[in-house]
Structure 1
Amino acid sequence: MKFFTKRNLFIILGIIITILTFIYIIPVALPIILALLTALLIDPLVRLVEKNFKWKRKLAVISVFIFILVILASTLYYTVTQLIGKIIDFTKAAPGYFNTLSGIWIDMQNKLFQYTVGMPIEVTEGIQSELKTVFNSMRIAILDLVSYEKITGLLTDVPNFLVSFIVFIIALFLFMLELPALKESVFKYLTHSTAEKVRFMVRKLNSTFFGFAKAQFLVSLIILAVTFVGLLIIKPEFAIVMALIIWIIDLIPILGSIIILLPWALYYFVSGDVGTGTKLTILAILLLVIRRIVEPKVMGAQIGLNPLPTLVAMFVGLKLFGFIGFFIGPLLVILFTAARDSGIIKINFKI
């Protein structure tokens, strides 16, 4: 049969290997892959430093690497120290908040008795039972949020994160140093025609990755601005710190700003400040809507894909591969488009 040619079998084998790689290898090697992608993104800056200052690559890489580390360390230090300070303040004030909560609950019961005077006993008991159920559900939800299992699970993940982060930093520096040699080692196994196609594909991917980073940065700036203005209106004393924290967390697709704002709003609801809790809830919904509407459009414009395929690729990738799928989905579409434009993949059929 003509279908089972040597070329088609190699293509099928390549597709199977690619799928297995995405499913089993990429999640494990994520820090190294992210380091390689980051090195590719930073490489134009390294070459710019080489050209303008007439430095050798090693010196340019060290300078750019230190510059990035200083910015990253400064941002993390300011954010973490401010966050720890706010947590300490909260723990000091927590007993007062819980006493206030108990007073609110007693006051609600007293008002309930006043409003239900003259009603049938079954109605009164039913209302009391429902209110007690709601209160207990809220209490269980708060206790579950700060439960021993959740805290120990979070603390257990910290060493894994630190190891992955250290591997990422080391791999990033090594990739930045060896990137030209890696490119040469790949191209020496290619024919002239294939090498030209791959170079075109690499240029396309470089512009796409840069566009992706630019799109994420632009969307994050919108989120940061809206968060800062919203918190200036709602809680001005927390505006700078919490805007920065929400901005950083919002870059994580699965979590987003809602993971910070909703518990914060719930805390104000429980403590009796319904107005502030409502405002924070509205802000969380607003940020979620902005990201879901703006992100596909901005990303599509920056990486050269239409908003609809971009949204579909992100959603399908997220469902199939989890967190990493949010990036894998558009990446697969970009790889296919670049391979098709370069001539590596040829599609020419009619039904």
Structure 2
Amino acid sequence: MRKNIIIILVGLIIGVVFIPYTITLILALVTALLLEGLVNWFEKKFRLSRVNSVILAFISYILILIGIGYQLLKITIEQITSLSENTPTLVQDFYLSTLLPIIRQMYQYLETLPSEVVLSVENTIENSVNSLDSFLQTLFSSAFSLITAIPGFLIEFLIYLIALFLITLELPNLKQKLSQYLTIETKTRVSLVTNKLTSAGIGFIKAQIILSALTFMLAFVGLAVLGVSNKVLISLLIVIVDILPILGTGSVLVPWGIVAILQGDNFLGIGLIILFVVITVIRRTIEPKVYSTNLGISPLASLISLYIGFKLLGFIGLFAGPAVVIVFDTLRKANILKMNFKI
């Protein structure tokens, strides 16, 4: 018994150490497990061999990726082209209507202030400009790093596709070889845990898609009401920023609203801030219900796990909190964790 526990612990430690280096293969394995249902459907529906069913499922998956990627790229290019045509005018309008009056007003005030105060203000402005310059340099450096990372990403993606095809093809053999080392009781528990976690993983992806779609629709409708151009691109940007760590819809809508108010467009500025509040309230209200429906946990457990996870780990906790609850519930149902006690 002790020997088995040591072997399991060593295996877990090795797995944790090598996870960063095998993430591509892990993603391929997870995708293969998700495609297994489609492969089985092809086998039963058209009475095909395993190889032909895997080929059909693999091609279908590739076509779906190409279709989604093409549409996203097409929409993004169209919106960026439209935005680039309007950017010079937007910058010029912002300078003439907002920055120039503020600068002139500052000079009028500075003339009436002591020289020490003027020097302090000049230093503050200089430090702000330097900070902005550093931020832009970092931004450009990040963009350059992103561009240079594309070849590496393509190589990783190619490896992912090859691994996905081979793993999908060999999945029954892998399951059979693994089952040789498991007792009947352990097989039952592993099957229960695997099915539960797979269902939860699919449910989590569905929940994220639902929440992102809701954010996109709310942003699109709100921007349309406010008469904003490039609604599709900006709505996509809001969705992407909302998913990223630390950032959120407020990092786009609130600064934009403040700038609009400074430019004298109170309708747009206040409307953007109201839109931010509406998106935040609606999303946070239905988020526990969406998670509970798709992850198979109660709304209360979902809400508590989201709240505690966010408080402890920030953005990552929004994912880790429900994941811990799902794993705990799965292990309890598999009788791996026994909670048969009374106080």
TM-score, normalized by the shorter chain, greater than 0.5: yes
How many pairs align? 338
| Per-residue deviation, residues 227-267 of structure 1 (Å, max 9, x unmatched) | 22122223454233443454456455555555655676677
| Per-residue deviation, residues 298-344 of structure 1 (Å, max 9, x unmatched) | 2133222321453157537856xx86x76555444433322221123
Task: Tell me which of 198, 202, 206 is aligned to 1:214.
Answer: 206
| Per-residue deviation, residues 162-189 of structure 1 (Å, max 9, x unmatched) | 3333333333333332222222221121
Task: Tell me which of 19, 42, 45 is aligned to 1:49.
Answer: 42
Q: Given the superposition, is the C-alpha separation of residues 205 and 228 from structure 1 closer, same or farther in structure 2, using an over 3 Å criterion?
A: same
Distance in 2, Cα, partners of 1:138 & 1:274: 27
Q: What is residue 306 of structure 2 aligned with on the other side? A: 311
The reply to whether residue 84 of structure 1 matches residue 107 of structure 2 is: no
* Within-5 A mapping of 1:1-351: 6-7=1-2, 10-11=4-5, 14-15=8-9, 18=12, 21-22=15-16, 24-104=17-97, 105-110=99-104, 121-122=112-113, 137=128, 140-141=131-132, 144-145=135-136, 147-235=139-227, 237-247=229-239, 250-252=242-244, 257=249, 261=253, 275-305=267-297, 306-311=301-306, 314-315=309-310, 318=313, 327=319, 330-349=322-341
Q: Given the superposition, is the C-alpha separation of residues 99 and 196 from structure 1 closer, same or farther in structure 2, using an over 3 Å criterion?
A: closer
Distance in 2, Cα, partners of 1:155 & 1:230: 33
After the TM superposition, which segments of 4 or more aligned residues of structure 1 sit over 6 Å from their partners? 123-132, 269-272
Identity %: 34
Alignment-mate amino acid for residue 64 of structure 1: A
- Which runs of 5 or more structure 2 residues have no equivalent in the other structure? none
RMSD: 4.2
Alignment-mate amino acid for residue 150 of structure 1: S
Q: Given the superposition, is the C-alpha separation of residues 61 and 186 from structure 1 closer, same or farther in structure 2, using an over 3 Å criterion?
A: same
Distance in 1, Cα, partners of 2:264 & 2:80: 20
Q: Given the superposition, is the C-alpha separation of residues 215 and 110 from structure 1 closer, same or farther in structure 2, using an over 3 Å criterion?
A: closer
Deviation at 1:50, TM superposition (A): 2.7
TM-score (norm 1): 0.74
| Per-residue deviation, residues 123-154 of structure 1 (Å, max 9, x unmatched) | 99969986995798489548724643233233
Deviation at 1:15, TM superposition (A): 4.8
SS across alignment from 2:21: coil
SS across alignment from 2:113: helix
Distance in 2, Cα, partners of 1:135 & 1:269: 25
Distance in 1, Cα, partners of 2:91 & 2:119: 21
Q: Given the superposition, is the C-alpha separation of residues 240 and 96 from structure 1 closer, same or farther in structure 2, using an over 3 Å criterion?
A: closer
Deviation at 1:86, TM superposition (A): 3.6
Distance in 1, Cα, partners of 2:210 & 2:43: 28
